[in-house]
Structure 1
Amino acid sequence: MKIIITGSTGFVGKNLAAYLEGQNAKVKGLSLRDPFWRTKMDTDAIAIIHLAGKAHDTSNTSAPDEYFKINRDLTIALFEQFMDSDIRDFFYFSSVKAVADTVDGILTEDVRANPLTPYGKSKQQAEEYLLSQKLSVGKRLFIIRPCMIHGPGNKGNLNLLYKIVEKGIPWPLASFNNQRSFLSIDNLNFFISQLLLKEDASSGIYNFADNEALSTNELVSLIADTLKKQPKLWYIWEKIIKGIVKIGDILPLPLNSERLKKLTESYVVSNEKIKKVLKISKLPVTAKEGLSKTIKSFRG
């Protein structure tokens, strides 16, 4: 089976392509930066997996229009090509941030969308367009909303935490009690491959997340355990921390309000819908196994 992947040179794209090729699929990358990409789309493919997009800029330096041109307009153009082809499946990688910047309880697929950032709004508007289109007989549309994706070779807030623990610096945000969902690249690859194989899977929106949620304190402890260190957790009054990070919103400091939110907020995502469709309960790796694999990769 032949599969087209946009964004195939990114972290998720590289891992997913390698995984699918290991499942005997033929993967072709499609660069939407190429002005002639429409003529290079293989119409004999079984699926398009649309990963390309503009990621959320936590430094808030990107112009809002950039998100809409890339995340919404390019998605619409690609989907129109899909509709005019014989390709069966269209996978759009959206984000849980397309519906909720904060979560009170557990995020499910039927929550009413209320994105607050240009990133989230651009993803949500792309979703709206896709859902408004009538699919031809035999075609399927999967809107994927992953939570925080990680794996070996992926940098981000996990790497920031790793460096803090590695240097023996106490974790100063331990007073923030939270629970967060993560998504191992191994589980993401598994979900996609199973949807491709399951011909009776219905079109729709699907959250992707590991089975278990963890607190940031648990994550710090897991990193410390991997490094054979004792976790150092400092319980500083929350109001003091929130006052300090406001300086980071003005000056280029490692911690600003956006990063504080990412590191300390609760954001639990339900994966019950996708598991029900695939008729599974167990995933290839647990949340701790996947995170441990990622953390070990930071040691080089």
Structure 2
Amino acid sequence: MTLIAGATGFIGGRLLACLQAEGKDCRALSRTENAGKEWVCSDLSGPGLLNACKGVNTVFHCAGYAHAFSSSDPDVHWRINFEGTRNLLTAAGEAGVRRFVFLSSVKAMAEPRDACVDEDWPGEPATPYGRAKRSAEAAVLEAGAKYGMHVVNLRLAMVYGRGGRGNLERMARGIRAGWFPPLPETGNRRSLVHVDDVVAVMRLAAQVPAANGRTYIAADPRAYSGREIYDAIREAVGRAPARWRVPAILLRCGGKLGDGVGRLAGRTLPLNSEVTERLLGSACYSPARIERELGWRAGVDLAEGVREMLGAGLGGMNTSYPR
């Protein structure tokens, strides 16, 4: 029996659908009620966690508070992303679960700036989300040693795909609607990973003994510039290539203006310094360790992934392992 925590979310839902399509026995844990026979309605602080873990062999922990860039509610990040993970680990250990895969984030690391970094990059996470995830990773490794569980931390780069609600999906809506401005080519590098690759690497990490006690970055081996991402989406939505671009200095000025107006209005505007940095800055993470140790390599490139995200499909994409 496999337990998926966060089964109604983007990644957890994709994993659940994949396993069920193969006839695997699955139990879903979610705050949302469902009529399914193997569906447990509980949050990560609830007393139902121990019962949810009984009879389970493998736990995939996909649940969490995903507002990675919000600094206004650090207590929520800590309560859900750290304490919730610790609660689930305790329940899993006491129930005799054998394998536990935790979905962490590259935000659990210090910001890479212009470097392309691996798991040993020094420094502390910059956000409450990242600090909570980093502490949760430590709790995962401690629980593995305490209970004799096979445990793995997966630090995901930005995840995208059909059904997602992240930055690429928002960009795609803007490009399709015609209001998203053409980005300049700044030579920045941003790491991504498609949701089908995440499903594949989760399953692999749960099964391969060499993964036990390890922390891995999961990302496309190629990082893409903001302009490359923009062009790939524009092509996928059927728009002609843009022959002009907004200069980076104008976008950054617009972001600063958005910061000021947002402070006056008491809310965050769609264009602000944080958003422009994500569009123009770098966030590059190397998956070399997981490629070397587990033989896994992301199989969905940007062009394929964007087409799937927009509904063109990947025609029978295999989300088993290895990739």
Structure 1 length-normalised TM: 0.88
In structure 1, give the amino acid aligned to 2:25: K
Distance 2:218 2:68 in 1: 21
Matches within 5 A, 1:145-184: 145-169=155-179, 171-184=181-194
Instruction: Select which of 277, 292, 298 maps to 1:276.
Output: 292
Distance 2:68 2:296 in 1: 35
More off after superposition, 289-298 vs 60-69? 289-298
Q: Indicate the residue corresponding to 1:294 in structure 2.
A: 309
Q: Indicate the residue corresponding to 1:264 in structure 2.
A: 280
8 Å contact from structure 2 (residues 156, 193) kept in 1: yes
Q: Indicate the residue corresponding to 1:53 in structure 2.
A: 64
Distance 2:72 2:222 in 1: 33
8 Å contact from structure 2 (residues 161, 309) kept in 1: yes
8 Å contact from structure 2 (residues 53, 91) kept in 1: no
1:5 matched to 2:4? yes
Instruction: Select which of 120, 127, 131 maps to 2:130.
Output: 120
In structure 1, give the amino acid aligned to 2:288: E
How many residues align? The count is: 295
8 Å contact from structure 1 (residues 175, 234) kept in 2: no
Instruction: Select which of 227, 251, 258 maps to 2:237.
Output: 227
1:85 matched to 2:101? no
Distance 1:9 1:197 in 2: 23
1:209 matched to 2:219? yes
8 Å contact from structure 1 (residues 178, 264) kept in 2: yes
8 Å contact from structure 1 (residues 171, 233) kept in 2: no
More off after superposition, 10-19 vs 35-44? 35-44
Deviation at 1:18, TM superposition (A): 1.0
1:15 matched to 2:14? yes
- The answer for unaligned runs of 5 or more in structure 2 is 31-41, 263-267, 314-323
Deviation at 1:183, TM superposition (A): 0.7
Distance 2:87 2:56 in 1: 18
| SS of alignment partner, residue 253 of structure 1 | coil
Q: Indicate the residue corresponding to 1:285 in structure 2.
A: 300
In structure 1, give the amino acid aligned to 2:289: K
Matches within 5 A, 1:235-246: 235-246=245-256
Deviation at 1:20, TM superposition (A): 2.1
Deviation at 1:180, TM superposition (A): 1.2
More off after superposition, 33-42 vs 242-251? 33-42
Distance 1:134 1:163 in 2: 42
Deviation at 1:68, TM superposition (A): 0.6
- The answer for unaligned runs of 5 or more in structure 1 is none
Q: Taking CA–CA contacts closer than 8 Å with sequence separation of 6 or more, which of the two structures ends up with the larger relative contact order?
A: 1
8 Å contact from structure 1 (residues 180, 268) kept in 2: yes
| SS of alignment partner, residue 55 of structure 2 | coil
Return closer, same or farther for 1:121/1:136 CA change in 2, 3 Å cut-off: closer
More off after superposition, 76-85 vs 178-187? 76-85
Distance 2:295 2:139 in 1: 29
Percent of matched pairs sharing the same residue: 29
